[in-house]
A and B are shown apart, each in its own frame.
Chain A
């Protein structure tokens, strides 16, 4: 997607628009037709898509294979669950609240902070070491939440009341979906701006050839760390939404297999494309729904699909429809 012709750019715009329109309109139509279940599926898809889009910034555009990204979903979800819990059962007056803005603030703040600290350490490593260290940080937080008996330990915690916003009632399924969907659109727009900005160019340059970028004069570490923090913050936001949607949170949301699923979504849909992670998330929730009713080994077909995708659409399924630079 670099020096595309006007035609190519218009075509890619249409592909992205089609993906966004379908994922927004189809669930609403089905809901109106009485198939209310699909709206829930779509809300879950959108929440996971935001997480996958945030991962795409560092994985698809930055080349950093984080195997601990789901940790930010967990931090975001607990940032909703813990204040709500105290608002209901007392103690911790400082954070006890149903206020949605506070929840989102906490989700983003703690996710950013965690990303800053762990990123500063992880990004000193490369390749397989980076994968392992990000996974290790994720598991650390997993066990941290397991150890919090007050909040249910590994049984998890039911959120009794959703985040409160003025005039917006998340208890309504359509409102819930629309809020998540609009936030996803905003996140995709922000991604579009970021990846084409000067910052985005440095990030993508460093993915392609870090030594050359450093030779040009870029301190690549700083730019990567910044991307890591942005990705963490956005993923924390998706966690706050997911917690509100499911009204149940548990350490299981953070497990490394969840991080693996996010990687699956990005790679299957198309790393380094704007709407790819959304396509990946859509395929993921549908497969999960369909396959898990047949077999408990429903992860197996995922693996096979990913291999096929890597073999036949190296840049993900969406790239089959996108136009690339003609020189290639």
Chain B
């Protein structure tokens, strides 16, 4: 945890009169789990979108492993080893669970200008995808269409798809949103296994999960980072208590 994996420098984003990112500067260290918490509408999703390239910032820079990626399109960031899960589940609804994960594996196995061999018969893709489904304990749903899954299961597929490209940095936007207690606990376990091996930016409202997982926490309020520190420091921070934890 010595060098930063991701450097965010003076990021600014406006939506009309709303300042969703207000001069955000933050370094995410390699292999740390860095949680970003904050009230609804604080600008957490907006920040993730800019880190991933789905949204262009109005000002500032993003560096990944020392390389300026501020104006790189999402698919190129993905190739560099960034992956994102969406707050609102975003999957290929018309395909099966296995197809979704296999597509994500395929994206990182060279180009896909391959027109003849059936994709579903490519062993390397199917095996790797099955492995990932085993990891998140969803193998028995492999052949179900995503549109037939429960909300919680879709959230799990969302993570599987993000993991499929073997990213070094994961941007997880409320992975447990809408999950039941059991599924949430399972997700915490899955993320715990990755602790120390992957850099994870975790956006989450579930404070138990955040305090269980995070190495460091940043608090975002009205587009501003008001505090960054270890879980204990954040728990004791007066500003944070007032602004967010509501004197918990």
Q: Identify the A interface with B (CB < 8 A).
A: 2-3, 193-194, 196-202, 204-205, 208-209, 211-220, 223, 226, 325, 327-328
Contact = CB atoms under 8 A, between A and B. Distances in A.
Given A202-B112, A214-B74, A216-B104, A197 B117 contact: yes
Given A2-B94, A212-B92, A216-B75, 8 more contacts: A194-B116, A198-B112, A200-B119, A208-B94, A212-B161, A214-B73, A216-B104, A216-B165
A2 to B, nearest CB: 5
Contact of B78 (A2, A196, A208, A216): A216
A116 B165 CA distance: 30
What is the interface of chain A mostly: helix, strand, loop, or mixed?
helix
A214 B117 CA distance: 23
B95 A205 contact: yes
Given A197-B115, A197-B116, A202-B103, A214 B95 contact: no
**5 smallest beta-carbon distances between A and B, as pairs:** A217-B78, A327-B148, A217-B107, A216-B107, A3-B96
Contacts of A202: 103, 106, 112
Interface string B106-133: 1110001111111110100000000000
B145 A2 contact: yes
B112, B117, B144, B164: which has the most chain A beta carbons within 10 Å?
B112
Contacts of A328: 145, 147-148
B84 to A, nearest CB: 6
B119 A327 contact: no
A221 B21 CA distance: 29
Contacts of A217: 75, 78-79, 104, 107-108, 165
Contacts of A208: 92-95
B64 interface: no
A300 B211 CA distance: 66
24 contacts: A2-B94, A2-B95, A3-B145, A194-B116, A197-B117, A197-B118, A198-B112, A198-B119, A201-B103, A201-B119, A202-B112, A208-B94, A208-B95, A209-B91, A209-B92, A213-B103, A214-B73, A215-B78, A216-B103, A216-B164, A216-B165, A218-B107, A220-B75, A327-B144
Contacts of A218: 75, 107, 112
Interface of B: 52, 54, 73-75, 78-79, 83-84, 86, 90-96, 98-99, 103-104, 106-108, 112-120, 122, 143-145, 147-148, 161, 164-165
A208 B103 CA distance: 13
Contact of A196 (B107, B119, B147): B119
Contacts of B79: 217
Nearest to B117: A197
A196 B120 contact: yes
B90 A2 contact: no
A82 B112 CA distance: 38
Contacts of B75: 214-220
Nearest to A190: B115
Contacts of B83: 215
Contacts of B145: 2-3, 325, 327-328
Nearest to A220: B75
A194 B118 CA distance: 8
Contacts of A215: 52, 54, 74-75, 78, 83-84, 86, 90
A208 B145 CA distance: 13
B37 to A, nearest CB: 23
Among A200, A204, A209, A226, chain B packs the most CB atoms within 10 A around the CB of A209
Contacts of B91: 209, 212
A211 B91 CA distance: 9
Contacts of B115: 193-194, 197, 199-200
A308 to B, nearest CB: 24
Given A214-B73, A328-B148, A198 B90 contact: no
A144 to B, nearest CB: 32
Contacts of A198: 106, 112, 114, 117, 119, 122
B119 A197 contact: yes
A147 to B, nearest CB: 38
A204 B100 CA distance: 11
B147 A327 contact: yes
